[in-house]
């Protein structure tokens, strides 16, 4: 069991070494009055904690460039910046998530680069600058499978060595893994997170196929 971390105030979670604000926290209430994310970036999802647990077991080298796709409130980005000193680009198409990302970064004393973009608009050269690309719960509709497959193809073609995606186990996610396995090394495994609560789902590691 980890060391007990006393929380500085109410309505805060401490999970995988980072502070997260609960829905009931006054700052989140204030942000929600001003900004309403509209593509499910409305909380930190269980898949973000799966990603943190998995990366804790399989960490990237320190100081690498990391991109988080569909960052929502940015918890996984904050986790990578905090634990691995990663230089993180947090990407989301919904501009309303970034005030939440900024607050999470601030309370954890990390700096992130925010990028407001659709998956389809991330170019190969930009993707390829990132040694690791991660995403939690980003393939939740059938129409996200193709853009994510093409994005991963572009990233690998331009030099990205590792992509890690987590998901609660929805059909479009399995479809994406299936399609990617035709051209890349894909390992899919069940995983669970234990902080702040137990959450079970899937982790996919995607790497370039060895020639």
Ligand X SMILES: C[S@@+](CC[C@H](N)C(=O)[O-])C[C@H]1O[C@@H](n2cnc3c(N)ncnc32)[C@H](O)[C@@H]1O
Q: Which residues bind ligand X (CB under 6 A)?
A: 39-41, 44-45, 47-48, 70-73, 75, 92-94, 97, 118-119, 136-138, 140
- Closer of 23 and 211 to ligand X (Cβ): 23
d(CA 8, CA 203): 32
- Closer of 118 and 190 to ligand X (Cβ): 118
Q: Is the CB of residue 19 less than 8 Å from the CB of residue 12? A: yes
State the nearest-atom distance from the C-beta of 163 to ligand X, in Å.
14
State the nearest-atom distance from the C-beta of 117 to ligand X, in Å.
6
d(CA 173, CA 5): 35
Chain centroid, CA 207 distance in Å: 17
- Closer of 60 and 135 to ligand X (Cβ): 135
Q: Is the CB of residue 64 less than 8 Å from the CB of residue 131? A: yes
State the nearest-atom distance from the C-beta of 142 to ligand X, in Å.
12
State the nearest-atom distance from the C-beta of 160 to ligand X, in Å.
17
- Closer of 185 and 194 to ligand X (Cβ): 194
Provide CB contacts within 8 A for 73, sequence distance 6+.
41, 43, 44, 97, 100, 101, 104
- Closer of 23 and 185 to ligand X (Cβ): 23
State the nearest-atom distance from the C-beta of 183 to ligand X, in Å.
21
CB atoms within 10 A of CB 209: 11
Provide CB contacts within 8 A for 146, sequence distance 6+.
none
Q: How many residues does the chain have?
A: 211
């Amino acid at each position: 069991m980890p060391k007990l971390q006393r929380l500085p105030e109410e309505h805060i979670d401490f999970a995988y070494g980072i502070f997260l604000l609960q829905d009931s926290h006054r700052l989140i209430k204030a942000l929600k009055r001003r900004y309403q994310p509209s593509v499910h970036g409305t909380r930190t999802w269980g898949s973000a904690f799966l990603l943190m647990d998995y990366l804790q077991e399989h960490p990237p080298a320190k100081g690498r460039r990391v991109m988080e796709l569909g960052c929502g409130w940015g918890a996984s980005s904050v986790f990578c910046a905090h634990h691995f000193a990663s230089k993180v680009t947090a990407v989301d198409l919904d501009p309303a998530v970034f005030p939440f990302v900024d607050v999470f970064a601030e309370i954890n004393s990390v700096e992130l680069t925010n990028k407001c973009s659709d998956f389809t608009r991330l170019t190969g050269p930009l993707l390829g600058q990132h040694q690791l690309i991660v995403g939690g719960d980003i393939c939740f509709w059938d129409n996200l499978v193709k853009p994510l497959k093409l994005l991963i193809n572009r990233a690998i073609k331009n030099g990205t060595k590792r992509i890690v995606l987590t998901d609660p186990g929805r059909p479009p996610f399995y479809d994406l893994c299936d399609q990617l396995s035709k051209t890349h090394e894909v390992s899919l495994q069940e995983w669970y997170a234990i902080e702040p609560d137990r959450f079970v789902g899937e982790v996919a590691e995607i790497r370039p196929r060895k020639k």
